[in-house]
Amino acid sequence: MQMPFCPKLWDRSAATTPAQAGNVVINGTVVVANHFGLSAPGRSTTLRLFSGTQVDHETRKGRLSAEAALRGGKKSKHGKASTTTYQVTFLVDADFGTPGAVAVKNGNRSDQFFLRHVRLDLAEDRSVHFDCNSWVYPSKKTSSDRLFFINTSYLPGKTPEALRLLREEELRKLRGDGRGERKEWERVYDFDYYNDLGNPEKDDDHVRPVLGGTMAHPYPRRCRTGRPLSKADGVTETRRHKLINLDYYIPPDERFSPGKLAEVLAMGVQAVTHFVVPEARAIFHGDVVNFKSLDQLRGDLYSKPPQPAADGRVMDELKSAVPSHKTYKQVAKMVKDTPVKFPIPQVIQHDKDAWRSDEEFAREMLAGLNPVVIKRLEAFPLKNSTITPEHIKSQLEGLTIEQAVHEKRMYILDHHDYLMPYLRRINTLGVCIYASRTLLFLKNDGALKPVAIELSLPGDGATAGGEDISRVFVPASRGTEAHLWLLAKTHVSVNDSGYHQLISHWLLTHATVEPFIIAARRQLSAMHPIHKLLEPHFKDNMQINTLARSILLSAGGLLERTMYPGKYAMQMSSDIYANWRFTDQSLPNDLIKRGMASKDERARGGVSLHIQDYPYAVDGLDVWLAIEGWVRSYCSHFYHTDGAVAGDAELQAWWDDVRHVGHGDRRGDAACWLELDTVGHLAESLTTLIWVASALHAAVNFGQYGYAGFPPNRPTRCRRFVPLPGSPEMAQLEADPERFFLEAVTDRFTATLGLALIEVLSNHTSDEVYLGQRATSKWTDEGEVLLLLDRFRHELRQVEKKVEERNRDPLLKNRRGPATVPYTLLYPDVDGHDKGITGKGIPNSVSI
């Protein structure tokens, strides 16, 4: 869209400053978020306008106005955000043209401010809008003004001449030179390896390999900080090791808003306090290691204790870490207003024992928090497996195993091959872990049932050929066999919990998305239509990933403390990333690869599901098609030919950065990527990226507390192997099965710590922007694009109706299951604004 210059463009009657002869006045408003503890912008903060239509032939940039200072400062509200609105008036030549960019100079001595937007009022009810949503640091630190472009989209070749050089210069600044340690105020995006996980200066047990850049340890890249390397090994980036660490570099535009920072800190304090209070009670009563019974577990975790709202030690730690005293006070108030108890998780709200059932165990593979691993069994017997037809033939509703496989009714949850190389090392860490294979049968009523579980350990060298040592368990409902069956299912759940948190959640959403963000900031101008399309799907990802590396994934971090792989967790995720393909991440391709669907051009989404009542896939395909329709129509609006895609220099530079640097360790696999040489390939690649950042992340993240909030349902570690016949352990199991179970699963300290973690991860924050929403209606001035977005929202609302109808259908057994938990994780909630643990809603981005 071009911006024609009109001599009568300016509304002189609205001017608050009288125009001189030959000049016109432009009035505008500047909206700044209220940031706790930081100085507000004052008269020392000034703005200048660049013309988007008239070129200064000396600079080859748009004509530049004189500086204009902010005036006033009235408290206001924009959505839920507390803001301050300022006035500004520019005096420009009559032939200045239409503004195309604004340069903001923060004259504060030391404090930054968060600029939401700038609006310039023109004649005949027209306005020019600059959607900023960025931190602006003092010019004394940055040595330059902060530049923002208008909300009009331009492909590189269609950029107005007055903005072309500004566009190129801005991208060069964002790419930086790859040298030096990054400063808080710098907006520089560069790639680096995961060399910040270890702490070699502490001891050898805290040494971790560098991930990324080698065939031995491939990994996606993260954002470079340039911090000094450890003197202990010369490769590990140094950092502070503390409970609440906010001392790290993130480009300012990627940081939480002030309100979200306070909210996340409050959730963190509450979660840690939720952990501290039960543990303090346990120490007082002498129940330090184990819960004595399931009743005690439920009572200690979910009943409201007469305790303070936050632990004093935690608040003291927070006070020294937050950026200001006002932020601390804001967090303290949020904490005080929230009761200190874990909410009762959905999986035990209606029936405290439904989680034990085989049907619920199997249903959660289709509709639980990790529904992306189950595969169809395509051949039997399994390679190197001890499961035989004798184990399962009586459970197949009259079919032979060959018939069941042929009719696509046999499925497998396979946690075997990737685990076996690590089991010897993992089991030296004080845990008792098997590799597992679980076979399942699709019954006539559409529900799955487990028919056999194989638990394996590496051979000890005494067996012939060093073969695995395996045991097979089959369903049982009474006596010792039932207790053994429950323990076998528990070991499977432990495997699946580790894979879920480490792979399905962290690697396949958080880690793999970050390189796309870094590359986009480096190569796509803020004016580029694809940048505008992807912008909401990048929100807060880099901030939350940096927090994760600091608190969860680092040596001795929460993930190593709570999940069974321990210090081998990230190395294991590197091994799995070695086979990652971006093309496999599209939902249809993923379902086909796992054998859960077959390609069928006549079917919805081009695939035909083999389990009709597969809630994740059924709802997911509806969401996928809605995203795909929106993305295809958006791309077609800007690219009218395949040649326009192939000839877009910024787009191709972005894709090269993603493939050859950000995911450079996967560049040798030709099947990993589509070439961006057609509109169709572009739309498919963007649909996949948006699906991963929004819907896939929602499906594997926001159900965590609902299912894993009751630790026995999703334990993260096992401390005892399944007892052997005639052993003292078998006698203990037979004497007191519940006590043996509680001594086998995660100890109370680790379980409570893990519960505190997933409570935070399962929360929606108040500034969440959901799929189909935008933070502001002024994100673009393209009327047709806004109509396309309205159509997308309409499609998502239709998805919501379908989800509600399916959840009411009693014939769809997997929609609720024995635990009566309706499947809502892919309910878009386009108009919803609920915060907290809701178990529904698809945020635009990997934001927590």
Residues that are catalytic: 505, 510, 697, 701, 848
**How far apart are alpha carbons 776 and 758 in whole angstroms?**
30
The 8-class DSSP code of residue 106 comes to B
Return all residues near 142 (Cβ < 8 A) that are at least 6 apart: 106, 185, 186
| Phi and psi angles of residue 97, each rounded to the nearest 5 degrees, phi first | 90, -170
Length of the chain: 848
Residue 346 near residue 707, CB atoms below 8 Å: yes
Q: Is the peptide bond before 723 cis (omega within 30 degrees of 0)?
A: no
DSSP character string of 313-361: HHHHHHHHHSS-HHHHHHHHHHHHTS-SSPPPPGGGTS-TTGGGSHHHH
Q: Give the Å distances, CA to CA, from 810 to 353, 371, 657, 816, 822.
A: 21, 21, 49, 9, 11
Burial 581-598, CB ≥16 within 10 A → b, else e: ebbbbbbbbbbbebbbbe
**How far apart are alpha carbons 820 and 210 in whole angstroms?**
44
Residue 491 near residue 436, CB atoms below 8 Å: yes
**How far apart are alpha carbons 784 and 579 in whole angstroms?**
41
Q: Which amino acid is at 828?
A: P
Q: How far does CA 765 lie from the centroid of its chain?
A: 13
**How far apart are alpha carbons 575 and 251 in whole angstroms?**
29
Q: Which of these, 490, 511, 491, 515, lies nearest to 502 by C-alpha position?
A: 511
**How far apart are alpha carbons 129 and 149 in whole angstroms?**
9
Q: How many CB atoms lie within 10 A of CB 407?
A: 12
What residue ranges in 79-176 does DSSP mark as E strands? 81-93, 99-105, 113-121, 127-136, 146-149
Q: Which of these, 88, 10, 104, lies nearest to 50 by C-alpha position?
A: 104
Which position has the token pair 């997997």?
814
Helix (H) or strand (E) holding 367: helix 358-367
DSSP three-state, residue 241 = coil
Q: How many CB atoms lie within 10 A of CB 449?
A: 19
| Phi and psi angles of residue 69, each rounded to the nearest 5 degrees, phi first | -90, 155
Q: Which amino acid is at 185?
A: W
**How far apart are alpha carbons 453 and 712 in whole angstroms?**
18
**How far apart are alpha carbons 598 and 596 in whole angstroms?**
7
